[in-house]
Chain A
Amino acid sequence: MTAVIETEGLGKRYRKLWALAGCTLSIPAGHVVGLVGPNGAGKSTLLNLATGMLAPTTGTIEVLGNRPAAGPAQLARVGYLAQDAPLYAGLSVADHLRLGAHLNPGWDAELARRRIERLGLDPKQKAGTLSGGQRAQLALTLAVAKRPELLILDEPVASLDPLARREFLQDLMEAVAEQEVSVVLSSHLISDLERACDYVIVLVDSRVRVAGPVDELLATHHLLSGPRRDPGSLPGGLQVISASHTDVQTTLLVRTSGPVFDPAWAVSEVGLEDLVLAYMKQAARPVPGNNHRRLEVQK
């Protein structure tokens, strides 16, 4: 199966600042991918490279096996919803649907009509007078009704209240179930995406820290706690993601392919939110100056 997004050494520089660097990814089709990272991590840059609105400084990117925005056919295969659901404030809901029908060859008018009806939007209402949640729903309708193979959503729920957020995600999951569309959506909060995503990419400081199917990530990360010890004395094959010590106890979040047998450690499962936060925290640490802070264990 073709990857929905495949990048190799992808980077984007604005003047002296690298917004994205050394990004190598292969995202398989059929997933809902959560792109998570703090503000300014490079999420929007990566998404804009995927839509073809930005050109890479280094490396390559392919979307659905083609160069992003290579032509009308490629544009029709990708739906994109930019941050804050941009709409034309002076145009009505019906105007937006007409616009969508004119601009998109594969437009599904019946789908768009049904969704607007179910959302209870008045076709005559101007977009500028809709609530934040309604605007997001209308923008999602436009992106879904063009029947894309890949839907890219940049911070779709960030500005929504909790109820509108839930409704938006319910709506999105229904579209995924109905149309078998692949989705990449970004957020600075994993908790927003935890139920919806089955694939996660953590991006911090312009670099990909970890990426993979959620099941696989949860199966290969464990929380170890036990009597205090030097991380250097750990067995091989363990990669320490985060470590905290009290005077008597050490707690580690590790990545490992096999089970942990050492009886000195109490092993417990780790949730997705803790896992993502550990990678964010790891990235936020200053460059290690001595071996104690360099926590990657090698043998």
Chain B
Amino acid sequence: MIEFHLDSRSGVAPYRQLIHQVRHALRLGLLHEGDQLPKVKDVAAGLAINPNTVLKAYRELEYEGLAAARPGIGTFVTGTLDGGSLAAHGPLRRELQRWLVKARRAGLDDESIEALFASTFRSASEEDIA
């Protein structure tokens, strides 16, 4: 079971934050098909948010085909977002860790690393499109 959190300063609507966290957990393999999402009542009580906000997020996930409600029981994961690539995560992560060590040795701080990654990511995506 995952646990939701809210960033009230992010400016992102709370129901969007919940959706994002479910999608994120699906991508990272923290949630699998058949897993139950936290009960609406528990999320509302835990985060002090309106139950309708949680319902709205769950409805949106249902619409995306990622979850389904079973009346009286709860909402369950029915889809996946890892695209079968989960097995590749481990090796990729290790490669990335090695790269991070190299970047730090070269004297890059966190912000420079993020900036370099983001700009490389963007130019690579643009090449893909072109």
Question: 1/0 contact trace for B31-73 toward A, CB 8 Å?
Answer: 0000000001100111111111100000000000000000000
What's the tally of chain B residues with a CB closer than 8 Å to chain A? Answer: 17
Query: How large, as a class, is the contact surface on chain A?
Result: 20 to 34
**When chains A and B are docked, how far (Å) is the Cα of A177 from the Cα of B53?**
11
**When chains A and B are docked, how far (Å) is the Cα of A119 from the Cα of B125?**
53
Q: Which of B6-14, B19-27, B80-88, B99-107 contacts A (4 or more CB under 8 A)?
A: B6-14
Q: Can you name the residue of chain A whose Cβ is closest to the Cβ of B41?
A: A177
> Can you list 11 residue pairs at the A/B interface with Cβ under 8 Å?
A32-B52, A169-B48, A170-B45, A170-B46, A173-B44, A173-B50, A195-B8, A196-B48, A198-B52, A198-B53, A269-B11
Contact (A195, B45) CB under 8 Å given A32-B50, A173-B51, A177-B51: no
**When chains A and B are docked, how far (Å) is the Cα of A6 from the Cα of B63?**
34
Cβ contact within 8 Å between B45 and A171: yes
Q: Which residues of B contact A176 (CB under 8 A)?
A: 44, 50-51
Cβ contact within 8 Å between A173 and B45: yes
> Which of B8, B14, B40, B50 is most buried by chain A, counting CB atoms within 10 A of its CB?
B50
Q: Can you name the residue of chain B whose Cβ is closest to the Cβ of A165?
A: B48
Q: Can you name the residue of chain B whose Cβ is closest to the Cβ of A176?
A: B51
**When chains A and B are docked, how far (Å) is the Cα of A176 from the Cα of B14?**
18
Taking A177-B44, A177-B45, A271-B11 as given, write out 15 further A-B residue pairs in contact, using a Cβ cutoff of 8 Å, ordered by the A residue number.
A32-B52, A169-B48, A170-B45, A170-B47, A171-B45, A173-B45, A173-B51, A174-B41, A174-B44, A176-B51, A195-B49, A195-B50, A195-B53, A197-B50, A198-B52
